[in-house]
């Protein structure tokens, strides 16, 4: 059971890590593709994304817990309420 929980927490940690890495990695890739002389700036942006991703994932894990954080994100309270439909009135 602990192995399963470790696997789930690892996936959630990678999700939280991936967002800043992608957000800063795409501009880094664009800079590199635009001119190959921008390689140092691209590497710097990618390293900043990795560091930001680690900090973000660890802060979420410590403050909220990964499973509870992502469960609150995916919760749909609008669907939990029972939809009350008015009864059809009979026409006489």
pTM higher than 0.85 for the full model?
no
Per the model's pLDDT, the better-predicted residue between 46 and 89 turns out to be 46
pLDDT-based confidence at residue 69 (cuts at 50, 70, 90): very high
Q: What is the mean pLDDT of residues 75-80?
A: 71
Distance of CA 5 to the CA centre of its chain: 18
pLDDT in tens, 6-39: 999 999 999 999 999 999 999 999 999 999 999 9
Report residue 55 as tokens: 């900090």
Report residue 73 as tokens: 């994100």
- Distances, alpha carbon 69 to alpha carbons 30, 34, 73, 89, in Å: 32, 38, 6, 45
Using the predicted structure, report yes or no on whether residue 92 has a pLDDT greater than 60.
no
């Amino acid at each position: 059971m602990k192995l399963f929980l470790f696997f789930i927490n690892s996936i959630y940690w990678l999700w939280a890590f991936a967002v800043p890495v992608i957000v800063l990695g795409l501009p880094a890739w664009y800079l590199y593709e635009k001119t190959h002389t921008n390689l140092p700036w691209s590497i710097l942006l990618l390293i900043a994304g990795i560091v930001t991703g680690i900090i973000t994932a660890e802060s979420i894990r410590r403050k909220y817990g990964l499973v509870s954080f992502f469960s609150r994100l995916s919760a749909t309270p609008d669907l939990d309420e029972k939809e009350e439909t008015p009864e059809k009135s009979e026409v006489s």
